[in-house]
Structure 1
Amino acid sequence: MKKVLNIVPYQYLPYFSGGQKLIAHFNQYVGEQCVLHVAGTADNDAALANTYTLHPILKNTRFRYADIGSFFRLQKLIKKEQIDTVIIEHPYLGWLGWMLKVTCKIKLIVHTHNIEYERFRTLGKSWWPILKFYESFVLRQADKVFCITEDDRQWMINNMKLQAEKCIVVPYGITQKQMPDDKQQCKQQVCNKHKLDSTASLFLFNGLLDYKPNLDALHAILEQINPLLIKSNLHCNIIITGKRLPAELNELKAWNQHHIHYAGFVDDIDLYFKAADLFLNPVQSGGGVKTKMIEAIACGTTVISTETGAIGIEHAVTGEKLIRVADNDWNGFAEEILKHAQQQTDTPVNYYKYYNWQQIAEQVVRSV
């Protein structure tokens, strides 16, 4: 059986964001297919790593990205466990992966979540060209690159000059295998919890709220989209979930009278995905696939998204569950909400096949 080491440079157990959840599920399902070791930071809850061995090798400080001592600790682990493949999450520890590849004679795979330099370029960071040089170098040193979307794969081939045969699409996965049959019960449960009228349409927005693309999207809902819905007299409520809402927004209390309600971080986000009639995604910056959209569709909820927000979703399998609107077209966004608020369609069967975590993990192990 193949022996694999995955290097994760930050806390992901328990998970609070889509990126952390991706790594947690990736490791869980890959760990069922091979002998998997994960080198991570000490602030992870090792009890949650039930299909693999978690080693707290990396330091918790920001200096872990330049800690030469981690090279010797990982080199020792690789030799002891006879590991033949190393995966690194993101390209930031690429220098470390390259050194391990050269000295330990192992295969190196970089598991990308987006095009990092492009993400920071869209966020207005002046140093993105430096990251582009480093990221391109790291990906070229890898034996294989796992890309989260076909869009990212083509970008790497065309703009970073990577060989097509070594770039493999490994999408963000879902645990669901079919359309849920309890959406109405979930809606009633969420409405009861937040004292909302269950006969009103229920819309959801979710994300880490101190991340600029998500915060900008929230402001678009508050200042652009919701006023149009109020003007239309649509009977609806919008629930906002997620951690780290800026203090100046005061838990959105000023918007409660305008049918907007802040639920904070929720333990069972699938409950809210299933409860919602629509998931709103007015994101207009930032890179990578929006994992919350993949999960919402898996829970049988139609997504209304900007074109930028919908980048990376495999449109061939979404059917009518993903509605795209041009960026900045808030009138068009509101019109699509009004059009689909009362429409219920099933998520296509092929969607569950394409994004199934078990199938993805099997593909990963065949590739390592």
Structure 2
Amino acid sequence: MITNNITNALLSGIEQQTPQVAPQNVETYLATIEKAQKDLEKVDPAIALVDEQPADSEVLAMVAAHQKQVVQSMVSSNPEDAIALTIAASIEAYSAQLEAIEQQTKGLGAFEDAMEVMWEDISQTSPLTGYALEDAFQLVLMDVLIHADDYHLSTEDMNTLQRFMECGGSGMHGSHEYYNGDDFADDIASLFNSIYNQAPPDSLAYTITRSMSSQSNCPDALVQQFEDNWGNLDQWYDDWNNGVGEVSPLMRMALLSSVLADESIELTSEEYNMFLTGSLSDIDAFMTDHYGKNTITYINSDLDGWNYYYTTSPNEGTGYGMNFWSTQGVTVDYFTELSKNLPARPLTDEELKEINRIGDQVKMLQQTLKYWLQICRDEQMAIARNI
């Protein structure tokens, strides 16, 4: 955490380290100082808002970026000025803190927050059975893809992961390139154990795999799920068309992101959560009300990257069931694309405290910058008078 010691150190050192500029460059340097002072004043209104409304990381990030530009303009005018470099370093420090908070609340951070909401809903039933086992494991694989650098999966496990993301989970069963439920039953234990052994203790994958192992007898129960409950094409097609069953976590996120991108619709918080935890019939009701079509029809006609491939004479080589339009399978790039439409989650109490602390630091450094620029100006004015 940044402390007031940084600002105090800067203030104590300013008068001893005022810039020394050659006489012929004084006027140019004075012009630079005056411009920097005017530029700094531009963010005063934003800083004043910090005391008048709840902490806002975007406002503080904007102020930090502006302060950094002011300091950088001074550094470029007088590269030997150590004070400028020190101030720039402290601004860089709290800018990094703000960026870290932003990443946790928006984009993939919001995506991960939605995943935790879905896991909390799924885990209310224990032990997990049936398709809930597949949905829980799909959340594990989503977490692995988002944090791929933390895992060192084999090529075989990665292939299984990508196939599972497309064909595993509630409502998503199908076969592509001759790969079906029997193949998942053969391969899923290796993938589960690889992730179980490598998941960082603070990860969602760690939480879920530990729960699935201790409370739901996984990976054995997951293997048996594929052996006994893969179903058939007609069953899945009928379920989707009649609003029967649940929706997999990945498809929930795909549908939610698609609806959020529709500017004609403004989701309520209740509707947002419905997409994360509601049943297929709940989502069907929303789709019918807003689009005049059920969910499977929406997927086939409106959902980018997906369709439900149905034929009365399915060919496993051609594929059937839920189909993702990518030869690579589902990758983290797809999650990043989905997350662009997700609203930022609310800040935690700890995050709010941290932003407030940063806000205090931003205000103190604003005063430090003004004081420093004035010292620089006075020094150069004195030099100018003596030329």
TM-score by length of 1: 0.22
Give the strand-richer structure, 1 or 2.
Answer: 1
Give the helix-richer structure, 1 or 2.
Answer: 2
TM-score by length of 2: 0.21
Determine which structure has greater relative contact order: mean sequence separation of CA pairs < 8 Å that are 6+ residues apart, divided by chain length.
2
